[in-house]
Chains A and B, each alone.
Chain A
Amino acid sequence: MTALDGDIAHLLAGSLVLVSFLLLYQDRMFALLNFFAVHACVLAFSVGWQAYLQRAPHLFITALIALVFKGVIIPVALHRIVVRLGIHRTIETVVSIGPTMLFGMALVALSVVVMLPVTQSSGVFVREDLAFALSVVLLGFLMMVTRRNAVSQVIGFMSLENGLVLAATGARGMPLVVEISVGFSVLIAFLVVGIFLFRIRERFDTVDLQALDMARGESA
């Protein structure tokens, strides 16, 4: 393996973190969905490159799953859901982007600080991938916390799952069956969430999740 190969792997994994930040930055629905598709594609390239480097053909299947399901099917389906819910023109009131970005930055720093010493005995790729994967997961959580719209929360959840796949890629010897089942469970989760979105809308006339708090009597 040459230095350039390692650099490309590093570049792709780093780009995934970057796209996570871009997801946090978007406040329009379609832009958010498009960037989620980009997120999945970057993940697919990253996993594919690892498959080539590790000579692990089963990882190609993981990459393919990411590309087809998360890069194409889920964004297209969410696109249609958003149109049917009639929220494609709404601009989301994001809790001020600046502080969110800085908080995200702190999360990335945290995951680097935590992961690098813990994984000292592992290979270079594992350490890099785990540090970046933890960042992507935390950024996904951050997105779910800061967004009020249910669709953006779903995107946050899916990007979080992309981070898990990246972590699984770095750790060698993850069996294919586990990855496929994770992939399918995400798909099932997506279906369930899709149905729930319509149920929430039916009941509260909105997909703004603050309406749920009100229904539970938690806030005025």
Chain B
Amino acid sequence: MNSRVLLAIAIAVIGAAACAGLPLILAGEPYLMRLVTMFSLLLVLAASWNIVGGFTGYPSFATGAFFGLGAYAAAILQARGLDWRLALIVAGIAGAVLAAPVGYGVLRLRGHYFAVASLMLGAILRELTTGWSDLTGGGMGLTVAGAGGDPERLAAFSLRISLALAVLTVLLGAAIKWSRLGFGLDCIRMNETAAAGIGVDAQKLKTYAFTLSSVTSAIAGGVYAGWIGYIDPTDVYDVMWSVKPIVAVLLGGVGTILGPIIGAALFVALEEIVWRNVLSFSSGGLGVLIVLLLLVLPAGVLPSLVSRKRRP
């Protein structure tokens, strides 16, 4: 068996064990449960962003837009009586339906232009959501039924499902990276002109990557809505939902399979440490720490460790 299959199996097995065991181990520890759930959701977004920003080399700021879209799609459908499972699936479909045409259009832009255009998507959706108050509740927000039940059960359930989604997203990333699609994305990232010259349909492959990453981001939004129980536009369309995953991937290792896992864990840990110690300057402190880390380990923790080991 080759090392890739082993890695995929290891991720799946450890992930499944964590999904089954963690809610039991952490029962009665709501703070830790919340932390692991936050980590899992960040990991979904980080691994999703990695498909577009890491594998393809297109620095997307649209992750938050699809997160918010998924949150609202799931919330609205549940408010109309749809089962939460179906609501999550439809949230994913909504992500794809928006991402495919938007990606096809916006992925013609490169570098900074693409980044700015992708950033706009979240702002547009936020305005639409706020304005369309008949459907979305506008600025008042929406209460979400989620999986229901008492808070403890809901916490355990949310932990389980967000962790499962995180494992699936990491595996999706691995499947893409090791496939023909991933090989094409590699070529596009390194040299798009040369890629076209050897027959790579860059527009199509980029749109696939963008769409797949948006599906998982949107489902993450749906899970978040069910977990928190109440959403409003300023929360789920917050630009931090786009920025945090990028920082996590940069910390862990861009374009790698395990980078998002390490990065998301590191990010959540740093956030908690700073939050506890310098409450009054928490986001500033976090920012300084992240900048320092990126200066010391510019390629991210994982590649820096690997290349240091390889060097004689």
A binds B: no
Binding site for B on A (CB under 8 A): none
